[in-house]
Structure 1
Amino acid sequence: MASSPSPSAPPRPPNLTDMGVDRSRPLVLVDVDEVLGLFMQGFGRFLEGRGLEFRVDRFALFQNIYRPGEDQHLAIEEGKTHFDDFFRLGCGDMEPAPGGVEALRALSQRASVVILTNAPGAGRLARARWLGRHGLDYPLVLNSGPKGPVAAGMVAQVRAPAAFIDDLIPNLDSVAESAPAVSRFQMVADPRLQPLAPTAPERHPRIDDWYDLRAAIEAAVLT
């Protein structure tokens, strides 16, 4: 779910060999927030600890933060401050999405898994610790802005099919533009967000259950 302002120039893709990724295997690129982790739930608890409310009444982030009893959401800039603080101080309390750990463990037996997430740079250590604590200690790539360019740069290094999983249509569209051969899947883990999330099934199949998503990824890149 999380996103950051677009950079002025596309980020340079990491060298997969340097990250210990076998370039002969299929590549599975996976987002974190609302895909592997229940971001909105964790962020909501964090905000409650600061005397604020997180109301899930739209598929948005900063426009859902309120002071109790108020009808106007918090100023966007103030919301961004809490967002950055959550990554540094509170994201360790985020729960994993049901079935995600097990699905990636199974996929990693035959494919290379890389975590591709948009998160503030200051939150890298906390994010890596969260992933490791939940058995998701796969290579981690922090991105800023559209994910297509960095995804394409990584996919170009492998000699096998690739898949990309994200909750946000703009990121899925970005990968479709930069790396059209990649199989793309939309996943929205939080049941409260599922009916609110924009979707484009004609471009990106949407599967909100990790058991079914694992089967779809296997069919796309492992057969």
Structure 2
Amino acid sequence: MVDVDEVLGLFMEGFGRFLEGRGLEFRVDRFALFQNIYRPGESDHLPIEDGRGHFDDFFRYGCGDMEPAPGAVDALRGLSRRASIVIFTNAPGPARLARARWLGRHRMDYPLVLNTGPKGPLAAVMAAQVRGPAVFIDDLISNLDSVADHAPQVTRFQMVADTRLQRLAPTAPDRHARIDDWAELRAAIEATIG
């Protein structure tokens, strides 16, 4: 089970370009999405609700304009020879078709599951349907913690693809391994699934 934004795709870069097209600045100063959106030259970020509006618009109109994370396509292709890959994302419902097209365009057209809220309950259901070991990859500690709570048998990896975010992202190394390079992550997954 693998997340999309900041795992398979460089969401922050794509969202930043989308905002620039609207005359805004996207500064990656903190691990808080809506608090990184500014009007040019201003020191206070946009109101949170305005940021949410741009976020929703990005998923409606711009989420197809995102580059794959370096190494992700090749890693999944290699892993798919030994394991079933499921894309597991919290992208809003209106983005389902655009997200599926983006995945297909970048040769990552594996089964796509849209989720809402914490990922642990659904991850537990999906893990119960396989005989071998299951792996979950996400950038957000809240999703990794949810899977740990609901499906502790699932091996969890934190991956943060955007190099600007890597130093800002909260981690919990006592609960989840953190690997931000797809070649290293692929090797760790292969070791896990045997």
1:65-214 equivalences under 5 Å are 65-214=37-186
Letter in 2 for 1:104: L
Note the residue ranges of structure 2 that are not aligned, 5 or more in a row.
none
Matching residue within 19, 26, 29 for 1:47: 19
Aligned partner of 1:59 among 22, 31, 36: 31
1:19-38 equivalence runs, <5 A: 29-38=1-10
Give, in whole Å, the separation in 1 of the partners of 2:46 and 2:94.
23
Q: Measure the CA separation in 2 of the matches of 1:39 and 1:150.
A: 23
Partner SS state of residue 58, structure 1: coil
State the TM-score, normalizing by the size of structure 1: 0.86
SS at match of 2:86: strand
* 1:97-149 deviation line (CA, Å, top 9, x unaligned): 00000000000011000000011111111100000000000000111111000
Report the AA paired with residue 137 of structure 1: D
Paired residue total: 194
Alignment partners' CA distance in 2, 1:143 and 1:74: 28
Q: CA deviation at 1:71?
A: 1.3
The CA deviation at 1:36 is 0.3
Amino acid at match of 2:140: L
Question: Would you identify which runs of 4 or more consecutive aligned residues in structure 1 move more than 2 Å?
Answer: none
Give the Å deviation of 1:91. Answer: 1.1
* 1:65 partner amino acid: I
Per the normalisation by structure 2, the TM-score is 0.99
Residue identity in the other structure for 1:130:
W
The one-letter code matched in structure 1 to 2:113 is V
The reply to whether residue 217 of structure 1 matches residue 189 of structure 2 is yes
Distance 2:97 2:34 in 1: 23
Amino acid at match of 2:46: L
CA RMSD of aligned residues (A): 0.6
Provide the residue aligned with 1:15 in structure 2. Answer: none
